[in-house]
Amino acid sequence: MKLDILAIGAHPDDVELSCSGTIAKEIANGKKVGIIDLTRGELGTRGTPEIRDQEAANAAKILGVSVRENLGFKDGFFVNDKAHQLEIIKMIRKYRPKIVLCNAITDRHIDHGKGSKLTSDACFLSGLRRIETTINGIDQEAWRPKNVYHYIQWQPITPDFVVDISGFMDKKVESVLAYSSQFFDPNSNEPKTPITSSNFLDSVTYRAADLGRLIGVDHAEGFTVERYVAVDSISDLI
């Protein structure tokens, strides 16, 4: 199966919090999108890996993504080395996306910055044909995504470009709320964390509204780039 866009996150819920509005909009426009979670988020203060697997599957269904896989890397302790790069290269070559979305370049959670660089490095290496990979015993061909964009999650990073997600905010919030073990729940007896306050959930909506305000629409999501983004015509910019 070939995908148009592959969104990769260190933990289940990174993609939903950061760029699910963009994903929902692309899917509505007929694009095929997949999600790869690097870890099962097993070190999360709340919930269990099994609960988070189910929540991730539910969120994928809400967004309508074509595929969601989990690479089972060690939450908190995965590193950017050959073994981890090869696992991501296999996914890139399997799905051959034109665009890869990945973690924020730097963030509060150390896995986000690590996941960002690891994914970006794997996207580059995936294009080198002398790096040989096989999946289910079949040799894979080299494939380099044309664009790698970093989404924005916890830290207020200034975006290089923003995507109008007006009309898709409800879908974004619904996909985030699929992770009921992780976020604000007045009836939960589990420990409080930085992301379990109602303030945190409000901040997700507020950021989208604020980015939207700055470009004159209802809601938007921001991304940073590694290389200049280009348009055919200056008139293509809205």
Q: Is the CB of residue 162 less than 8 Å from the CB of residue 42?
A: no
The answer to the question of residue 16 lying near Zn ion (CB under 5 A) is no
Residue 38 vs 173, nearer CB to Zn ion: 38
Q: Are 49 and 41 in contact (CB under 8 A)?
A: yes
Nearest to 115 by CA among 12, 38, 56: 38
- Cβ closer to Zn ion: 113 or 167? 113
Q: Rounded to the nearest whole angstrom, what is the least distance from the CB of residue 83 to Zn ion in the complex?
A: 21
- Find the angle CA(187)-CA(189)-CA(195) to the nearest 5 degrees: 80
Q: Which residue is nearest to Zn ion (CB)?
A: 11
Nearer to Zn ion, 76 or 127 (CB): 76
Q: Of 40 and 109, which has the nearer Cβ to Zn ion? A: 109
Find the part of the chain contacting Zn ion (CB under 5 A) among 49-57, 106-114, 115-123, 204-212: 106-114
Reduced to 3 states (helix: H, G, I; strand: E, B; else coil), residue 9 is strand
Q: Does the footprint of Zn ion cover residue 107 (CB under 5 A)?
A: no
Q: Considering only residues 6, 11, 63, 122, which one is a binding residue for Zn ion as defined by CB under 5 A? A: 11
Per CB under 5 A, 14 contacts Zn ion: yes
Instruction: Identify the residue whose tokens are 């694009």.
Output: 31
If the CB atoms of residues 84 and 109 are measured against Zn ion, the closer one turns out to be 109
State the Cα torsion 3-15-150-65 to the nearest 10°.
10
Pairing type for strands 138-139 and 134-135 reads antiparallel
| φ and ψ at residue 41, rounded to 5 degrees | 65, 35
The CB density around residue 207, as the number of other CB atoms within 10 Å, is 19
Q: Which C-beta is closer to Zn ion: that of 11 or that of 52?
A: 11
Write each residue from 52 to 91 as x if it is in contact with Zn ion (CB under 5 A), else as -, in one continuous string: ----------------------------------------
Helix (H, G, I), strand (E, B) or coil at 124: helix
Part in contact with Zn ion (CB under 5 A); list of ranges 13-21, 53-61, 67-75, 141-149 = 13-21
Site of interaction with Zn ion (CB under 5 A) = 11, 14, 109
